[in-house]
């Protein structure tokens, strides 16, 4: 199975900060990588697909990138509504696997 | 607007069975693969099962293989998850999703406890 190692697990940050969350894939997954945002009591929301593509309605301060087997989600100029847990997902091969999540919280 | 509405959750004893349903609307159901994903209380996300648009192929992780069965009725735009031999570790919110989790339902809670 492909392991997705997500870091950090917790990320304290201030409003206006630029933050980056990373997932490292244990095997090649191409660009079959998605990022999700989940707020308390809500279903996850797709933010990034194909490693770098912004999903519909997602603010432009969010972006995705890839460097080898490292996939990153960056949020520029953090806003209060961005406080949530973020997960990556590889869907290159079964079993699909998620990262363990990153809790983004106010410092 | 894509809508996915799950139902069928509840409290069930270990070893018993439960069947979840997900009614889809706002898109042509038989054009899309569908997936169930679950989340144990306070934990992360886990992929549970996927099915092709025709229902001809299904996929499961080892944690549920042989116990869970995903199926669909394209005429009713409905996705199902038959869960047998339930264990306490199956306690979770179960989400119905379209494609590779591009769209999500609101989730349905399943609690396995005596």
By the CB < 8 Å criterion, does A60 face chain B? no
pLDDT at B100: 80
Between chains, do B44 and A87 touch, taking CB under 8 Å as contact? yes
pLDDT average, residue stretch B70-86: 98
- Give the three-class secondary structure for B30: helix
Q: CA A10, A13, A16, A20 torsion: positive or negative?
A: negative
In angstroms, what separates the C-alpha of A80 from chain B's closest C-alpha? 22
Mean pLDDT of chain A: 97
Between chains, do A44 and B101 touch, taking CB under 8 Å as contact? yes
pLDDT average, residue stretch A24-30: 97
Peptide bond between residue A95 and the one before it cis (omega within 30 degrees of 0): yes
Beta-carbon contacts of A74 under 8 Å, excluding residues fewer than 6 positions away, are A18, A19, A20, A21, A62, A63, A64, A65
Which residue in chain A has the smallest CA separation from B47?
Answer: A96
Q: Which residues of A touch B62 (CB under 8 A)?
A: 95
Instruction: Considering only the beta carbons, identify the residue of B35, B45, B46 that sits closest to A44.
Output: B45
* pLDDT class of B27 with cuts at 50, 70, 90: very high
Model confidence pLDDT, tens digit, residues A68-106 = 999 999 999 999 999 999 999 999 999 999 999 999 999
Nearest to B95 by CA among A86, A43, A99: A43
Q: Which residues of B touch A101 (CB under 8 A)?
A: 44-45
Which residue in chain A has the smallest CA separation from B62?
Answer: A95
Q: Which residues of B touch A34 (CB under 8 A)?
A: 100-101
């Amino acid at each position: 199975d492909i392991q997705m190692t997500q870091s950090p697990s917790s990320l304290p940050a201030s409003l206006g900060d630029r933050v980056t969350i990373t997932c490292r894939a244990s095997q090649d997954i191409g660009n079959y990588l998605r990022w999700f945002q989940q707020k308390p009591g809500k279903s996850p929301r797709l933010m990034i697909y194909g490693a770098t593509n912004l999903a519909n309605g997602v603010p432009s301060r969010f972006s995705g990138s890839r460097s080898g087997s490292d996939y990153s989600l960056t949020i520029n100029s953090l806003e209060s509504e961005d406080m949530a847990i973020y997960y990556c997902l590889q869907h290159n091969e079964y079993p699909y696997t998620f990262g363990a999540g990153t809790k983004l919280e106010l410092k | 607007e894509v809508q996915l509405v799950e139902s069928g959750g509840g409290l069930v004893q270990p070893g018993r069975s439960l069947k979840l349903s997900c009614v889809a609307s706002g898109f042509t159901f038989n054009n899309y693969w569908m997936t169930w994903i679950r989340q144990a209380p306070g934990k992360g996300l886990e992929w549970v099962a996927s099915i092709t648009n025709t229902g001809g192929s299904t996929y499961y992780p080892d944690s549920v293989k042989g116990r869970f069965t995903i199926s669909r009725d394209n005429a009713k735009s409905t996705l199902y998850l038959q869960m047998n031999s339930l264990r306490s570790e199956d306690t979770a919110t179960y989400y119905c999703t379209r494609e590779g989790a591009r769209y999500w339902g609101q989730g349905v809670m399943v609690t396995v406890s005596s």
